[in-house]
Amino acid sequence: MKIALILSGCGNRDGSELQETLSLMLAFDRRNWQYQCFAPEGKYRVVSHVDGKEEGERDIFVEAARIARGNILPLNQYHVDDYDALALPGGMGAARNLSTFAFNGVDMTVRPDVEQAILSTFNAHKPLLAMCIAPMVLAKVLGPYGVTLTLGQPCPASQVAEALGAKHQCCQPTEYCVDRQHRVYTTPAYMVGTHISQIFDGAENMVAAFEADFK
């Protein structure tokens, strides 16, 4: 397997959640699968992880490179034929940088390059994996197809996902949701989780389900 990951910066409050991203990387690496990180380019507002205040602007791509240890490509270089699946770890970057869900709720938009990556993967009948709040991006893009996903328990986000046309399945932190018709795999992670062990178990269980379906 060769998996593409879309990152959205660095940090749970304003970019990709590190523990969720690393849990996905570890699940892939333990199977000897290759993975390649991608990120869109452009400025975003950085949030302090100490007091929650905004601290100016940084570049999404440059910050995401911190997680990937520099092994990262611009999202516009993602070619669906080169990969077996596309994965989106969580973190508020999915809601602030990949989309405008954090600001616009049900009126959210998704970055065109992110939407193109998701749609090209979906139309190629290849799997999509997402964690935490990242399934909201899938809900916006794939909601019209009636995709089923999880954001954990009923919450304002799940209500928006349903308003966008997606179906919501309740899950505990280590559980996952599989929509085999649309080849979508999601797990709630820190939407409901409280321990890093739950995040790693949720990612592992989701990836194991994906592996079983696409061996």
Q: Give pLDDT tens digits for 56-102.
A: 788 999 999 999 999 999 999 999 999 999 999 999 999 999 999 99
pTM of the model: 0.95
Average the pLDDT over each of 4-18, 133-147, 171-185 and give the range with the smallest value: 4-18
Q: Average model confidence (pLDDT) for the chain?
A: 95
**Block residue for tokens 């990152």:** 7
The model's confidence at residue 55, banded by pLDDT at 50, 70 and 90, is confident
- Statement: residue 12 has pLDDT above 90: no
Alpha-carbon separation of residue 111 from 11, 75, 118 (angstroms): 19, 11, 11
Helix H segments across the chain? 18-29, 60-67, 93-96, 101-104, 112-123, 135-142, 156-163, 196-214
Higher pLDDT, 134 or 54: 134
CA angle 122, 18, 214 (to 5 degrees): 35
Q: What percent of the chain lies above the pLDDT cut of 70? A: 100
- Statement: residue 149 has pLDDT above 90: yes
**Block residue for tokens 């992110």:** 114
Q: How far apart are CA 27 and CA 1, in angstroms?
A: 12
Domain count, the chain: 1
Q: Say what the pLDDT of residue 212 is.
A: 97
Please give the distance of CA 76 from its chain centroid, rounded to a whole number: 17
Q: How far apart are CA 180 and CA 210, in angstroms?
A: 9
Q: Say what the pLDDT of residue 51 is.
A: 78
The model's confidence at residue 129, banded by pLDDT at 50, 70 and 90, is very high
Q: Say what the pLDDT of residue 102 is.
A: 95
Q: Which tens digits make up the pLDDT trace of 150-197?
A: 999 999 999 999 999 999 999 999 999 999 999 999 999 999 999 999
**What residues are annotated to the active site?**
132
CA angle 30, 21, 121 (to 5 degrees): 85
Task: Report whether 97 contacts 89 (CB < 8 A).
Answer: no
CA angle 3, 205, 9 (to 5 degrees): 50
Mean pLDDT of 28-54: 88
- Statement: residue 54 has pLDDT above 80: no
Helix H segments across 5-105? 18-29, 60-67, 93-96, 101-104
Average the pLDDT over each of 37-46, 71-80, 103-112 and give the range with the smallest value: 37-46
CATH number at residue 98: 3.40.50.880
Residue-number span of the structural domain to which 89 is assigned: 2-214
